[in-house]
Homo-oligomer: A and B are copies of this chain.
Amino acid sequence: MPARFVRKLEKFGRLSKAERQVIIDASQNTRKIAARKSILHEDENAHTSCLILSGLACRYKIFEDGARQIVDFLVPGDFCEGDANQPEYHLGTLSQCVIAYLDNDVLADIMDKYPRISRNLWRASKAEAAVLREWLVNIGRRNADKRVAYLICELCTRLDGSDADVPGGCALPVSQIELADATALSTVHINRVLSRLREKRLVTLQRRSIIIKDLPRLKAHAQFQDVYLQLPKSA
């Protein structure tokens, strides 16, 4: 595995480095997936887990009318799997991703062999729940401007360091449509919100990506506190 993947994984794992390595070693295959593709095929959904090695992915729900709600972003180091109990939810890539796949049976064996893995998967899952709660509050109680700024801060923080091109900030491979799907706003309104953020020189826009050059300033503007992300203290 290329060194840069490992570097990324160390920064933001919800599992420890050693635990991720166990999963990577047991992985049956690693695939490179293009942007905007499904991560799990229909038939894999119920019995396959995966570990994001690079790129940006998300979990989303599709409604009958085609509307979409993104409910979580997945960054390098995140462990995820399909859920047969949420059949309308899917995992998909936003940028090109490299993903390690693992059959759930193999995962069960690993958990038998390394009891700490299941305990730490529990911890990781609790961390995921903390992020979900924060999204809930964000969508439920913050107005459009703060909501968008807050979400950008979260994503940028979780991706921190994985973007060599923008030191101290990052380029998010997210279109305005996708940002609307994640914040539960219309694309038209997202566009107006981003225009205001651009006027304040907090973000720069490019087709299909959002560039943040001064993350600390955006965090101050969004009143963003990152405790809930449970980052390593050294960061």
Contact A119 B111 (CB under 8 A): yes
- Size of the chain A interface, CB-CB below 8 angstroms: 39
Q: Could you say which of A83-91, A157-165, A166-174, A201-209 contacts chain B?
A: A83-91
- A177, B144: Cα distance in complex, Å: 24
Q: Which residues of chain A from 105 to 136 have any CB-CB distance to chain B below 8 Å in the complex?
A: 111-112, 115, 118-119, 121-122, 125-130, 132-136
Inside 8 A of A86's CB, which chain B residues have their CB? 130, 133-134, 227-228
- A115, B122: Cα distance in complex, Å: 12
Q: Which residues of chain A from 42 to 93 have any CB-CB distance to chain B below 8 Å in the complex?
A: 59, 61, 63, 67, 69, 71-72, 83, 85-87, 89
Task: Output the nearest chain B residue to A67 by Cβ-Cβ distance.
Answer: B141
Q: Please give the count of copies of this chain that the complex contains.
A: 2
- A67, B132: Cα distance in complex, Å: 19
Name which of A59, A85, A112 has the most chain B CB atoms within 10 A of its CB: A85
Contact of A141 among B63, B127, B229 (CB under 8 A): B63
**Given contacts A140-B184, A141-B184, A129 and B125 within 8 Å (CB-CB):** yes
A230 part of interface (Cβ distance < 8 Å) = yes
Contact B136 A132 (CB under 8 A): yes
A6 part of interface (Cβ distance < 8 Å) = no
Contact B85 A227 (CB under 8 A): yes
A220 part of interface (Cβ distance < 8 Å) = no
Inside 8 A of A35's CB, which chain B residues have their CB? none
Which residues of A are in contact with B by a Cβ distance under 8 Å? 59, 61, 63, 67, 69, 71-72, 83, 85-87, 89, 111-112, 115, 118-119, 121-122, 125-130, 132-137, 139-141, 184, 227-230
